[in-house]
Structure 1
Amino acid sequence: MTDDRDRRTHDRRTHDTRTGAPMKWFDDGELHFALGIEDTFVPQSRAGERPIDEYELTDHYAQVETDLGLAKDVGAELVRWGVPWYRVAPEAGRWDWSWVDRAMASFEQLGLRPVIDLLHYGTPLWLDGQFANPDYPQHVAEFGTRFAERYGSFAVDYTPVNEPMIHALFSGEYAYWPPYLSGPDGLARIATSLAKGFVLTQQGIARALGERATFVHVDAGMRYVGDVDAPEHRETVERLRHQSYLVEDLVTGGVGPGHPLAGQLAAGGVSDDDLAWFAANAVQPDVMGVNYYPRHSTEVFEAGVHHGGGFADSRPFFDAGTEGLAEVLTAYAARYGAPVMLTETCVTGTVAERLEWMGDSVASLQKLRRAGVPVVGYTWWPLFDMYEWTYRHSNGPRADHLLTMGLFDLVEGADGHLGRRRNPLADRFRQLATSTRHPSLPVSTPAPA
């Protein structure tokens, strides 16, 4: 439970003294520390594939109360936490909230603030065509709205779609995840379907919760370096740089006839009426979240070398460190005129490597804040180790796909039980989270670029 000091601070800051409007957690001038629990759900499969459910792989379903207790113990204020839609809605029109009830009760008992990650890949098994289903936007909006109506007395912070551009690429361009569309037309179709579902979900939650609702939009920071001006790469790089913002531009009403990707969208079947709908129904982030991994968020182009891009045929990566981190956070803050939050970061490696990145990345955010960039949150992802997405295309045991990323190691016993073993990152995170939890430098929100 929250201590008296936290409760007094909360009571003081519930309303803006100037306007009388409810205060939001990100308005208090502090840098808020969060953790995430990996929550990829792709329940569909085909020949050569198996479903992937990170909660099942990591035994989070069975250990949810103690897992959330670990987050509280290491000083997290917020937890980015996803909902397994395919389990909540096992059949069309049937809802099973029993496990989510259990998890949300634990959040409330612990005094942890959930940032609800409504869609972290994957749809229910009964939804034919997945994101390409014409009724997908209405179905996902119903799911999100029902969640808010059920838990809105406590859960008020929502991410309608995590990394919608990664969704669109994997499901619409690379044919790697359902519905296995490919090419620019597939990307346009999936991106706009995701964006419409995103808008309808946010609108539904806003109607349910009113001004108490907070929306943390989240996408992946993507950077492209190297021989980007080589004739064979120039057009591709230009497209990719605009494309990384495409879904967020759609949902915020920023895609019109003059948008650099308007032609690609039109070729993929997106009409002027579709774009007009987004402009008329634009929704905005209260906080713009950016996911950044120093060793994977920057792709390298090499003159004379073709790399298709994508999970199965990726370009080389360059470790851009804190320079890349500062660039993507600053760019998102300027583009959307909202406070920014680092919503995922880590390195996969030894404890020493992870400790170094944790210290460097927090220092980088503090430097940005001193420079006036409105950075309001830091998230280490994940709380405990996870399993790589390659598990889906393998017949090997989950241990073959373990990624050492967390504050707690996953330790598999002979009986298959997964223990959580605390490592030095937990103590370092707690030190950083608790030592910076005090009123800090004021930050200003820039106007959208």
Structure 2
Amino acid sequence: MPNKLPMGTRRTGDLYDSYEDTPDVKVTLERSEQGLSVTVAWSSPEVPYAAWFMSRGGFLPGTEPKEPKPVPQRVVFHDSHGSVLLIRCWARGFHADAFGPGSGTLWARAAILGVEADLQYDRPHGLSSEISGLREWLGVTSWSIEHELVDGVGVARLTSVPPARIELGDHSGLVLELTSGWQVVPDEGGDRRELLDLLWCTTRSSEPMAWDEHLQLHKALRDLLVLSRWRNESCVVVHAFRQDDPLVTLDGATHGEQWREVIVPGDERVPPPSGWHPHLLRFEDLGVAGINHWINLRDHFARALDPVISSMDLRNATPHTRLAHTGPGLEALGYLLVLRDGATEQKASRMPLRARFERILSEVGDCLPFDGSTWVEDAVSRYNGLKHANRAQPDEVDLLNTWADSVMVVRTWVALELGIPKAEVTKRLVDDRQPRGFSVRN
């Protein structure tokens, strides 16, 4: 078995941390639907591992360790298949006897395969991810296909092409680029071969930067695609590198960067949509300058955009929850637009809800496929109905429709902010596939 962690894996091996006085211990590394975890056992409460899990309670009075070590942020697992560095760890869940043995579970937010030392991969120099829908949106491919007739027989030739690279510049010390690639995946024990058409989003920094600082830029591109078609898209980290972990051959020589394979919980890829799902925001409209404009816009209007974009993940929530989640984003958008107009923070903060929504409408009203004034009236009434107990409770279908129309308002505003002409936005919204117009089923 290679050094892999497919879903359902259970491996037994040794655990190493950054503390010199912790004893050797055998642990079980597991990847399950719940995440990446290591189960650690101890023979008595005096063993240092016990304090990782029982620090919030579990020791009998007088038996607590005098100087317990905190849960390490990184641990290394090693068995006959290889090594795995687990990063951004925390302890959750244990079972123990008051004076005897016990066991606890250490969880990790990512696993870096092949790393044998306690390297700070929670602060990498580079991070690479796969974002669903991004390759198709960019219109790039790593394969060319040719069809011809040879002696009356149809022949197809599939050929790999040099990778495409789109450089998106420096963003607060992180260089962002998009690179295409291909891969041939054999079917183990079978006769099939799978040809992959890939695209990676990569960030690099000269100094190590926090994992989430890297990931913020990756998620910015994912969010752009979410707003474009209003469908869920995945962003899965697949590789990382650090400058102190170069590629080293058996003779001890170094050979540049070594991008390590990364495993993260929840790495399911969103499949492509079935049927026709047109984009509201297209790469040919934006180009590199437009993508950079979006990244800056997302940062400046995060309080407005984040609640709207994240409402995509509330598929099983009630209509009340969706509008209550999205409403603060609409309030923030109106507030930030008024600030951009030149108003003071005090004046902008005192603006009533209706005035904020009307300010948003002044930017998008001509493009919407529904009456903007009616949206303002309904959104103000129904959102206030949720917030204030002395008002009538809005109908669930009405709440769902107001939420959907509000999402389209924000998507429209983003399209116009990114420079897409009003006439083109209006035309595309007519064919947009965002679900709207909900009604009661009989």
**TM-score relative to the length of structure 2:** 0.20
- Indicate the structure (1 or 2) with the bigger Cα radius of gyration: 2
**Larger helix share, 1 or 2:** 1
**Larger strand share, 1 or 2:** 2
